[in-house]
Amino acid sequence: MIVEPTAEFAQLQLGFVDQTQWRYEVIRPLVLFADRTAQQRAQETETHPDTVRTLHRRFRQRGVLGLLPADVKVVPRRRASPIPEAVRQEVDRLKAFYDGFHYRELALILLVKTGYPIDDKTVKKLWQQSPVSCQGHLGLWNYHRQPDRYQARLQVIQLYYQGWEKVSISRFLHVSRPTVDVWIRRFEAEHFTGLVDRSRAPKAPVRKIWLPLMVQVYHLQKAHPDAGRFRIWSLLARSDVSERTVGRIMALNKLVYPDIPHVPKKEGARVPGLHPYKASHPHEYWFIDGRQLDVRVDGVKWWSLIILEGYSRTILAGGIAPTEATWVALMVLYTACLCYGVPHTLVSDSGGAYTSNDFKAVCARLQIRHETIVSTKGESYQNLMETHFNIQRRLYDYQFSLTTTPVELEQRHQAFIRTYNTTAHQGLLKERFTPLSHSRYWEPPKEGSIPRRSSAGGLTITSSRGERISMAA
């Protein structure tokens, strides 16, 4: 579309808000259409022809910049700096304090203080562009002028963890480099406690034990081997030596001199022997024992009878009853044999429930070697159940005390067996075994062959696999 030049220049001037707009409108027909001369355009705009020619020439040379007034200075716009103002201010602050930084050191300090990652080359430019000059050292920052020694040492630590190098800290605070190393090392080892003043007194007291004194006490010990430290101290008659020091010398002499009478001779360390019933394979040894619980249910203290397998330390069967009787022990043994077969040896104490004729007869029929131990002769340790009942006491005696009926007590007893067999103990370090493995023989009993015995109470037997055999009156 061809735009015709407007002759109504006077009317256009009413919309001008800038001198540059007026100058461009003066030369616009000459630039866009070239259909008239500068003399003609000067007459249309009532302007001098030289002015029209000058503006036209300046526009062709510099564009719109040529139309600006002579008193307007054109400054090219600089690209906005990506460096945050906080970083520049921190550079100015550091430069006012100290001018001996390395640029990599400054980059680390800026990262710690402002959180802005920056490289050493950019830091170098910022440092050189900063108009701030170093003001020199201020007395406030002098290490030796600090009235509080703790604050002076804390100042060293703060600068170090702000990224300052040790040499910069040394020069800035006027303190030696070894001193800086000492406080940093003590802070890393003891934290703020290491910055507190310490006493320069000797850490160890003055030694009062020397060889002539030791020899003097040694002769007194040989002459009076049964005398205590007070008697030896009184015979020594030395006011500068305390009774406790004499006691220490006597103890040391007993270690050094073997000819002091009445001093027991130390024997070599005894090698513990093997357990007499240490199993080498599963079901070689079973251990049976009973424990009277510290719980009264229906006015009766109940008993817990348990069979423990000696190789895997697994509870094979267990039961609770109001008494530790032979029939209870036989029912627990029956439940274990029903699930795992017959063991080679059964170990028990010399209680009446295990030494009765009925119990011996059952063991003889099943060809189980029955070993009894005598607790009064120090043989209790040989029955592993003696010590394993301590586990029951620590784990479940409190749970037993919360029960109010035999049924609840029996349920807690089952829970104890499950907990013991499913948590870590020494047996878990050995290989796992399956029922009937390593047992000699076992034929499942016929249905209805479980013996029953009438009693004043009831009995519930639980195997390690959760099978329950109940007996009631």
pLDDT tens, residue by residue, 28-60: 888 888 888 888 888 888 888 888 888 888 888
* Cα distance between residue 338 and residue 331, in whole Å: 10
pLDDT at residue 181, rounded to an integer: 92
For residues 416-427, average pLDDT: 80
Q: Is the pLDDT confidence value at 160 over 80?
A: yes
For the entire predicted model, the pTM comes to 0.43
**Do the strands 315-321 and 345-349 form a parallel or antiparallel pair, or are they unpaired?**
unpaired
Cβ proximity of 307 and 462 under 8 Å: no
pLDDT at residue 427, rounded to an integer: 53
- Tokens 């430019």 correspond to 125
User: What band does 439 get if pLDDT is binned at 50, 70 and 90?
Assistant: very low
Cβ proximity of 242 and 349 under 8 Å: no
For residues 422-448, average pLDDT: 50
pLDDT at residue 216, rounded to an integer: 92
Cβ proximity of 296 and 397 under 8 Å: no
pLDDT at residue 455, rounded to an integer: 35
Q: Supply the mean pLDDT for the chain.
A: 81
38-63 burial, b if ≥16 CB within 10 A, otherwise e? beebbebbebeeeebbebbebbeeee
- For 254, half-sphere exposure in the C-beta direction (CA atoms, 13 angstrom radius) is 17
For residues 196-212, average pLDDT: 74
For residues 293-299, average pLDDT: 86
Q: Is the pLDDT confidence value at 236 over 80?
A: yes
* Cα distance between residue 366 and residue 342, in whole Å: 7
pLDDT at residue 370, rounded to an integer: 92
User: What band does 472 get if pLDDT is binned at 50, 70 and 90?
Assistant: very low
Residue 45 sits at φ, ψ, to 5 deg, of -100, 0
Beta-carbon count within 10 A of 258 CB: 8
For residues 410-436, average pLDDT: 72
User: What one-letter code names the amino acid at 56?
Assistant: H
Q: Is the pLDDT confidence value at 436 over 50?
A: no
Cβ proximity of 122 and 83 under 8 Å: yes
pLDDT at residue 425, rounded to an integer: 65
Q: Out of 35-39, 106-110, 145-149, 424-428, which region has the weakest mean confidence (pLDDT)?
A: 424-428
Reference 425, options 347, 339, 309, 345; nearest CA is 309
Q: Dihedral, CA atoms, 410, 413, 418, 420, nearest 10 degrees?
A: -170
pLDDT at residue 273, rounded to an integer: 75
Q: Is the pLDDT confidence value at 447 over 50?
A: no
User: What band does 411 get if pLDDT is binned at 50, 70 and 90?
Assistant: very high
User: What band does 84 get if pLDDT is binned at 50, 70 and 90?
Assistant: confident
Torsion 355-360-361-363 (CA) sign: positive
